[in-house]
Amino acid sequence: MILGIMSVYNEEYFLPFKIEWCRSNGISLFVLDNMSTDSTVEILEHNNVQYIQYNTDGVFSESLMQDAIKSVLDSINPEWVVYMGCDLFFSTLFPIREIMEHCNVITLPFYSARNTGEERSSNPFKTYRHVNFDGELDFIFKYDKDIIFNGDEIIFPYEVKRSNPDGIWINYGDTKTSAQRLETLERREKAWDKGENENWGNHLISGYNKNWLWDKSELHNIDDIDLTSYIDKLQFDCGL
């Protein structure tokens, strides 16, 4: 089994895309809902997606989220895991199962799409074409109960046999509305006030200082850095 797992809070916009994307890639989806107040739960139930709810009293805590995710993974014990957020997608030019035959960790470059003043639409993948390169992610991996989550770092208990296929991770969190991003920042701040690592989620401060609006000159256009094929594939996998 390839299990895609994520925690969500008020993801009614991206959730239908993520459900279709998982189906297209042969990924079984499990969702931990952090007490959403929009139609997230209704969408999950309508699409027969497995989910549980967990309550952090309005705090966006990375450690509490990862503890909850680890508990679910230990109970299911899948063969492979795709660890993600609802607005975070990978796109590869080869079927993911073929890649898994030769490794135990899949590493992909990671890009963040930014709002540069585009008019919002029903297709964020077509609308937002400017990105920042943010390193690499090891978020597709063979599961072991001794794996440790530490923010964006995953500590593996086994010798890593890594594959770096043609593909990318891309996050669309910074294309959300200013009100949504501000709420996320405020929920993060509650976690920091409780002593959580302030490096977890500190990109939200940069977004706040820009009023969640980035200058295109500071970013890469996906057409100029040969990402178009990945975004086209992503749109297709999301049913667009």
Count up the domains in the chain and report the number: 1
Determine the 3-state secondary structure of 45 from DSSP.
helix
Tokens of 216: 């295109």
Q: What pLDDT is recorded for position 183?
A: 97
| Beta-ladder partners of 136 | 109
Tell me, what CATH number does 148's domain have?
3.90.550
State the Cα–Cα distance between residues 121 and 127, nearest whole angstrom.
7
pLDDT by 10s per residue, the chain, length 240: 999 999 999 999 999 999 999 999 999 999 999 999 999 999 999 999 999 999 999 999 999 999 999 999 999 999 999 999 999 999 999 999 999 999 999 999 999 999 999 999 999 999 999 999 999 999 999 999 999 999 999 999 999 999 999 999 999 999 999 999 999 999 999 999 999 999 999 999 999 999 999 999 999 999 999 999 999 999 999 999
Judge contact between 62 and 34, C-beta under 8 A: no
CA distances from 129 to 82, 116, 118, 158, 169 (A): 24, 9, 9, 38, 14
- Residue 101 structural domain: 2-237
- How many secondary structure helices (H) and strands (E) does the chain include? 8, 12
Q: What pLDDT is recorded for position 237?
A: 98
Q: What pLDDT is recorded for position 28?
A: 98
Give the strand pairing for 80-83 and 130-142. antiparallel
The reply to whether the predicted model has a pTM over 0.95 is yes
State the Cα–Cα distance between residues 209 and 207, nearest whole angstrom.
5
Q: What pLDDT is recorded for position 50?
A: 98
Q: What pLDDT is recorded for position 100?
A: 96
State the Cα–Cα distance between residues 18 and 20, nearest whole angstrom.
5
State the Cα–Cα distance between residues 17 and 19, nearest whole angstrom.
6
